Amino acid sequence: MHSIIRAAGYSLMTMFVSCGVGAQDLDTRIDKIAMEGELPAHESIARLYAELDFQQATQRYLWALPLVSYAQWQEEFAKSSAPAADHNRHLTDAGHPAKLHQA
């Protein structure tokens, strides 16, 4: 039984060596990433985390943009000269100077 396990281990090792699974560099859009087997090498981990942080920050900005835009609109709406304005009423401004000059 022990010899069967040993033979299987040797065959797996030779398969990994013949397939080229070892220290390879992955060519990615950020740069080459050094690999140690199936995992990134120690010197590549910091660069991968920096790229991950950048991607997360970009995604959070894109998700927050509509919320911030809507909050800005609410703030400007609250400052407007319409005393009866609140978030439950629909106001029309037919007397706005830009609309008066259109023909």
Instruction: Give the model's pLDDT for residue 75.
Output: 81
Determine the straight-line distance between the first and last CA of the chain, rounded to whole angstroms: 96
The 10s digit of each residue's pLDDT in 30-79 is 888 888 888 888 998 999 999 999 999 999 999 999 998 888 888 887 77
pTM of the model: 0.48
Select the highest-mean-pLDDT range: 52-61, 79-88, 91-100: 52-61
For the chain, domain boundaries: 2-80
- Rounded percentage of the chain residues whose pLDDT exceeds 70: 55
What is the distance between the alpha carbons of residues 85 and 11, in angstroms, rounded to a whole number?
Answer: 78
Q: Which helix (H) or strand (E) holds 33?
A: strand 32-36
Neighbours of 44 (CB within 10 A): 20
